[in-house]
Amino acid sequence: MQRAVEHRTGVQAPAEILWEVISDFATWGDWNPVHPRIEGALRIGTPLNVEVVLDGDGPAKVVEAVVQDWVPYEQLHWRTKRLRGFVTAIRYIEIENMGPTNATFSNGELFVGPLVRLVSRDERRRLRAAYTRMGEAVRERAEAIWSQRQKTPI
């Protein structure tokens, strides 16, 4: 059994700009309301320490994760274990190139395992709201960077 939560948004900036924002962990605190801090390296199997703030003003929780997959300019996935390992949560961030000046940004979480039914509807609602905030924040950041670069003479 599996359950998923996702948010998708269009971004008026190239996929390369989105990847620049996503892959620069040091700046996540400047723009990311859901994961204000992330530490680790982009290497499959590498541990990550990820701060999670679901309710905008709630306390941050540090989650230990492992990079499951990443493809430059396309995706970053990490996994965590829940409910004593009976549920695996795969957190994903994906970029789809839609043309030279726009892309689609998706972020969400997929839950799999024998106790996935215990991931409550309320938690999924809170996650969806958080991932919507993150999607809007990454869109604003990428579009601001792209806009500034368009104004800068070469």
Interval 41-96: pLDDT, tens: 999 999 999 999 988 667 889 999 999 999 999 999 999 999 889 999 999 999 99
Summarised one tens digit per residue, pLDDT across range 3-34 is 999 999 999 999 999 999 999 999 999 999 99
pLDDT at 76: 98
Model pLDDT, residue 64: 96
What pLDDT score was predicted for residue 55?
83
> What integer pLDDT is reported at residue 1 of this predicted model?
78
How many CA atoms within 13 Å lie on the side-chain side of 117?
Answer: 2
Domain annotation for the chain: domains and CATH numbers: 2-151 (3.30.530.20)
- pTM attached to this predicted model: 0.92
Helices (H), the chain: 15-23, 28-31, 121-151
Q: Who wins on pLDDT, 67 or 150?
A: 67
Going by C-alpha positions, the residue among 3, 30, 2 that lies closest to residue 145 is: 30
